[in-house]
C-alpha cells in the first residue's frame, strides 16, 4: 500500500514522518536492540523472529542487563548527589512498575531496596529472598492482614496513609510487642505536568495527608507506643520530565519537616519517584543525574534557609529502572485502510494482543511507538494505528505511528518501552490469557513468568469439576506457556 498524501493531516502535531520507518530511536529502545544483516530486529543478540518461534506472541521481553544498568546508574546518581551535601540516599525500586522474583533479585543485587504496595507484592519480594528490613510498604488501604504480615516479617518501614491506618497499625504492634518505623505520606499540593490519573500530590485525591492535616497525624503517631516516626514521604506523580515539580515539592516538604523536627528528630525525607522515560522519539526526559542533583540541591538549600540539618534522602523509581528494558512482540493479524470523513486515510493494524497486555493507552492515553521486527521495508511510510483484538474501540496499542505501507498479516511487530506498567496492569479481558515474560542475558532467553493457558482460566471457574480440553492449538509454541495440571476434583470454598 502506498502512502496517502493526506496522511500528514491526521497525524498528531508531535509525530514527524520519518526518513526511515525501520530506524530504532536510541532513547526508546534497549541499548542492545539492533537490526541484523537481514533487517530482523535483534534483542539482546537474539533475533525477534527466533523469540516468536520459541515462545509465541504476544510476548513480553525484558533485557536483564538493561535493568541492572539502570538500577546502578540511578543508585549512583542519587548517592553522589546526596553525598555532596554530607547525607546518604536510599533508592527503593517501585515494585508496582513490574514485579517478579527475578526482577527483585536483579535490583537488590545492584543495591536497591524494594517498595511494595500489597500483600501479594510483599510475598513476591520475600519469595525472592529480599531482606525485609530493606522493604518499604505503601498503599492507601492496607488490610489488617497485610499490616500483620508486614510487622511479622520485620518490614523496614510502612508509609502511613490515613488516621485509621495509624490506629490499626498501632494496635498490631502493641499486640505483638513490636516497634515499627513509619513515614507519613503527604500531598505537597504540587500539580505535576502529567496525566490527571498519574498526578498524585494534588489535594483532591485519595493518597496521603494535606500539608494542613499532616501535623495532627504526626502528633497522633507520636502519642502511640510502638510506632517510630522517621520522616515524611511524598510522590507527586508519574512520567514527569522536568525538575521544577520535584524541587517545589521538596521545598514544601522541608518546610513541614522543619516544623515537625521540634517534636523529635526526623532522619529521612522520601521524595518518591515518577521520573519519566522516553516512549517516543520526541520525548525528552531529564537525565537521572541532573534530576538527582537538582532535587538534592533544593532540599539542601531549603534546610539551610531554615537552619536545620539536611535529612537523609530516599527515592522510589520504578519506570526509570525497567521501562526501557521491555519490548512487547506481537504478530499482525489484519490491516485495514480506513477512509475518514475528512478525506484522509488511516491504516489500522490489528495485532494478537492489546489492552489486556498493555492497558496504558486506554487508561492514560499513553503514547508508544512501533517497528516491524521481522524485516525492513523501502515502501513509503503510512500513518498507522496499532490496535488490539479486544471488544473495545479504545483498545489501542499505538495511537499514531508511521509504519511501512506494506505492513502485512504475519509481520512481527515490536513495541518498545513496555517494561513498566504493562505486565503489572495486564488482565484477562475477553478471557485472553496473559503472555509470558522472557528475560534476555548473554545471548540466552529464559522464561521468568510463565504465560497463562486456557487451563489456567478455566481452573478458577467453580462450575467446572475438571479442566476439559485445555490443549494448545496444534503447532503453537508452548515454551513459557506450560499446561496446568488437570483438576481432579471440585474446588470449593470453606
Q: Cα dihedral sign for 116, 121, 126, 127?
A: negative
Catalytic residue among 234, 303, 391, 422: 391
Closest CA to 270 of 333, 224, 201: 201
Supply angle C-alpha 131, 137, 141, rounded to 5.
150
**Short-list 29, 113, 106, 117, CA closest to 75:** 113
DSSP per position, 378-418: -SPEEEEEEE-SSS-TT-EEEEEEEEETT--TT-EEEEES-
93 - beta bridge partners? 114
- The answer to whether the CB of 416 falls within 8 A of the CB of 461 is no
Contact 318, 93 (CB under 8 A): yes
CB burial of 93-121 (b: ≥16 within 10 Å; e: otherwise) equals bbbbbbbbbbbbebbbebebbbbbbbbeb
Q: Look up residue 421 and give its three cell numbers.
A: 506498567
User: Do residues 271 and 234 lie in contact, with contact meaning Cβ atoms separated by under 8 Å?
Assistant: yes
Give the separation between CA 286 and CA 151, rounded to whole angstroms.
Answer: 37
Q: Tell me the C-alpha distance between 480 and 438, whole Å.
A: 8
Rounded Cα gap, residues 244 and 290, in angstroms? 12
Strand 135-137 relative to strand 371-372, pairing: unpaired
Give catalytic status of residue 234 as yes or no.
Answer: no
DSSP state of 228: E
- Is 423:450 a contact under the CB 8 Å cutoff? no
> Any bridge partners for residue 401, and if so which?
384
User: Cα dist. 277→163, 245, 280, 286, 425 in Å?
Assistant: 35, 16, 9, 8, 18
For the annotated catalytic residues, the residue numbers are 391
Amino acid at each position: 500500500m502506498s502512502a496517502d498524501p493526506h496522511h500528514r493531516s491526521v497525524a498528531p502535531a508531535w509525530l514527524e514522518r520519518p526518513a526511515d520507518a525501520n530506524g530504532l530511536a536510541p532513547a526508546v529502545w534497549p541499548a542492545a536492540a539492533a537490526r541484523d544483516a537481514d533487517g530482523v530486529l535483534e534483542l539482546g543478540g537474539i533475533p525477534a523472529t527466533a523469540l516468536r518461534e520459541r515462545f509465541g506472541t504476544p510476548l513480553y521481553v525484558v533485557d536483564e542487563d538493561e535493568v541492572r544498568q539502570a538500577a546502578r546508574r540511578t543508585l549512583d546518581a542519587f548517592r553522589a548527589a546526596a553525598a555532596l551535601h554530607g547525607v546518604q540516599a536510599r533508592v527503593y525500586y517501585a515494585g508496582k512498575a513490574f514485579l517478579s522474583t527475578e526482577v527483585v533479585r536483579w535490583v537488590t543485587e545492584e543495591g536497591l531496596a524494594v517498595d511494595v504496595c500489597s500483600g501479594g507484592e510483599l510475598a513476591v519480594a520475600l519469595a525472592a529472598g529480599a531482606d525485609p528490613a530493606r522493604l518499604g510498604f505503601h498503599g492507601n488501604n492496607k488490610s489488617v492482614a497485610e499490616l500483620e504480615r508486614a510487622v511479622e516479617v520485620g518490614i523496614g518501614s510502612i508509609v502511613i496513609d490515613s488516621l485509621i491506618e495509624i490506629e490499626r497499625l498501632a494496635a498490631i504492634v502493641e499486640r505483638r510487642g513490636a516497634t515499627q518505623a513509619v513515614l507519613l505520606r503527604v500531598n505537597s499540593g504540587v500539580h505535576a505536568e502529567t496525566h490527571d490519573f498519574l498526578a498524585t500530590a494534588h489535594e483532591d485525591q485519595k493518597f496521603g495527608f494535606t500539608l494542613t492535616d499532616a501535623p495532627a497525624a504526626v502528633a497522633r503517631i507520636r502519642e502511640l507506643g510502638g510506632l517510630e516516626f522517621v520522616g515524611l514521604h511524598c510522590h507527586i506523580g508519574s512520567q514527569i520530565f522536568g525538575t521544577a515539580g520535584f524541587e517545589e515539592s521538596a521545598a514544601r516538604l522541608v518546610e513541614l519537616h522543619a516544623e515537625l523536627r521540634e517534636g523529635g528528630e526526623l532522619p529521612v525525607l522520601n521524595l518518591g519517584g515518577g521520573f519519566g522515560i522516553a516512549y517516543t522519539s520526541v520525548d525528552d526526559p531529564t537525565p537521572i543525574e541532573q534530576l538527582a542533583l537538582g532535587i538534592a540541591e533544593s532540599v539542601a538549600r531549603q534546610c539551610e534557609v531554615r537552619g536545620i540539618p539536611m535529612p537523609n534522602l530516599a527515592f522510589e523509581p520504578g519506570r526509570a529502572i525497567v521501562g526501557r528494558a521491555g519490548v512487547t512482540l506481537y504478530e499482525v493479524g489484519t490491516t485495514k485502510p480506513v477512509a475518514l470523513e475528512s478525506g484522509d486515510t488511516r491504516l489500522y493494524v490489528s495485532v494478537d494482543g492489546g489492552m489486556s497486555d498493555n492497558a496504558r493507552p486506554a487508561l492514560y492515553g499513553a503514547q508508544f511507538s512501533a517497528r516491524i521486527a521481522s524485516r525492513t521495508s523501502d515502501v513509503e511510510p503510512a500513518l498507522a494505528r496499532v490496535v488490539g483484538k479486544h471488544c473495545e474501540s479504545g483498545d489501542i496499542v499505538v495511537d499514531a505511528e508511521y509504519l511501512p505501507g506494506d505492513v502485512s498479516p504475519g509481520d512481527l511487530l515490536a513495541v518498545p518501552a513496555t517494561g513498566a506498567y504493562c505486565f503489572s496492569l495486564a488482565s484477562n479481558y475477553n478471557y485472553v490469557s496473559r503472555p509470558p515474560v522472557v528475560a534476555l542475558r548473554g545471548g540466552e532467553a529464559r522464561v521468568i513468568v510463565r504465560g497463562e493457558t486456557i487451563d489456567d482460566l478455566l481452573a478458577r471457574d467453580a462450575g467446572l469439576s475438571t479442566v476439559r480440553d485445555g490443549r494448545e492449538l496444534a503447532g503453537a509454541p508452548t515454551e513459557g506457556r506450560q499446561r496446568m495440571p488437570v483438576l481432579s476434583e471440585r474446588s470449593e470454598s470453606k
